Structure 1
Amino acid sequence: MTGRRRWTTDEILDTAAELLRTSDAESFSVRKLAAALGTDSSSLYRHFRNKTELLRAVVDRVVLAAMEGYHPEGNWEQRITGLALRLREAFAEQPQLATVWGRYASSGTGSRLLMEELLQALRISGLPDEEIPMRYHRLVVLLAALISADGGIGATAPEEYEQGMELFRVAVLGADPERFPALSHFARDIRPLGADRGAAFEEILAAQLSYLATQIP
C-alpha cells in the first residue's frame, strides 16, 4: 500500500521543495507534506524532528547546489562576489526558498561549504583573525537580506506583480506635492523595488566589500 511505503530522505526533501514552490514557510506544514506523499506525519518525524529542521534541510540543498563545481578564482573580493552571485542564481530558480533561507538559514553540508569559503576569502584579505568572525557575520546578514528580498519579489505571481506596479504608480505619481514635495519632485524617476534588482544587488555588495577593504590594516 502507498501509505506503507518507506520514503527516502531525498524523496521527502524533493516533495517538500516542490510544495514550497507554490507556498511559503508559514503555510507549509509536515502534515501537508505527509498528505502529498500519501503517508502520515509520524513517518516523516523519523527523518526530521520538526518543521524547522526539515526547512533547513530543504534550503541546504539549494546552497549545496550553488557550491557544486565551485572553484575559487581571483582575489578575496572576487571570490566573495562570485559566491554571492552563485547563491543568488541558485535561489532565483526556487525563489520561495530564498525567504526560507533568510529566516531559517541551514546547518548542513552546503552551509558549511559556504561558510568555509567565505572565511577563507576573508582570511586572505589581510583582516586580523580576531576581526574575521564579526565581519563574516555582517556579510552573511547582508547576503541573506538581499537574496531574501530578491526571492520575495521573484516569487510574486504575475497578476500580483502588475497589481503592485499599478499601486506603486498611483502612490508615487499621485502624491500630493505639498505634503510630499521630494517624492513629487522625483516621482517620474523613482523605480519600484522589483526594478533593476541585479544591478542593485551587485552595487550594494560591492559597497560592503569596499568598506571591508578599508578595515584591512
Structure 2
Amino acid sequence: MKTDIEAVIHNLALRNINAYYFESLDEVEKEIHRIIPLKASVGIGNSQTLKKIDLSEKLRVRGNVVFDKTTAINKQEARELSKKAILADWYISGTNAISRDGHIVNIDHTGNRVAAMIYGPEKVIVVIGINKIADSLSAAIDRAKNTAAIQNAKRAGHTPPCIELKKCIDCRSKDRVCNHLVIIEGQVDKDRFKVFIVNERVGF
C-alpha cells in the first residue's frame, strides 16, 4: 500500500496537484487548522470523512466563516449555502476515488461539490482515505459508481435500483444520485489544489 501511496503522490505532482500523506485524521485536522487563515471563508463538501472529525463545527468555533449545506434547516438554505461555498476562499471535501495514475473521480447528485473543486475557491483540499485508491481510472470510476454512489444514495434516503441490485445499471430513476461524473486530470495552478491522503479507511 505504501508503494501505491507514493505512486499516487508522484502522479498527482505530474498533474500539477500537491499531495501529502498523513498517518491519521487527527494529523489532517491539525494541518488544516495550520494552513487555513482565521479570516478565510471555507466551503465544505458533503463528506463522511470530514464529518468524522466534525470539521465544519471546529472551523466555525475557531472563527472561520463556514458554508456547509449539511447544516441547513431546509432545501432553500442548503442551496444558498452551496452557492456561497463555491465562492469561498477555501473549499474542503472528500472524493469518491483516486486512481494510481492521479485521476480524481467524483459522482455528484446536484454537482455543487465538483463545481467548487473545479472552479471558484482559490484553494481546495481533498481528504481521502487509503480505501479510495484504485489501481486504474476504470477501477476508480467503478468504485465511484458501484460503491460510493450506492452508499450515498442509501444515506440520503433515496431508493434508486442500485441499492437493491448492489450495482449501477445507469438507471433513469428520479432517485438517481449519480448525475455528474467528473474526472479531474490536473490543475493550471499547482498551488490551488491539495490532496491529503490519510492512512485510514474512511468515507464512502
One fold, TM greater than 0.5? no
Which has a greater percent of helix?
A: 1
Which has a greater percent of strand?
A: 2
TM-score by length of 1: 0.22
Structure number with the bigger relative contact order (C-alpha 8 A, sep ≥ 6) is 2
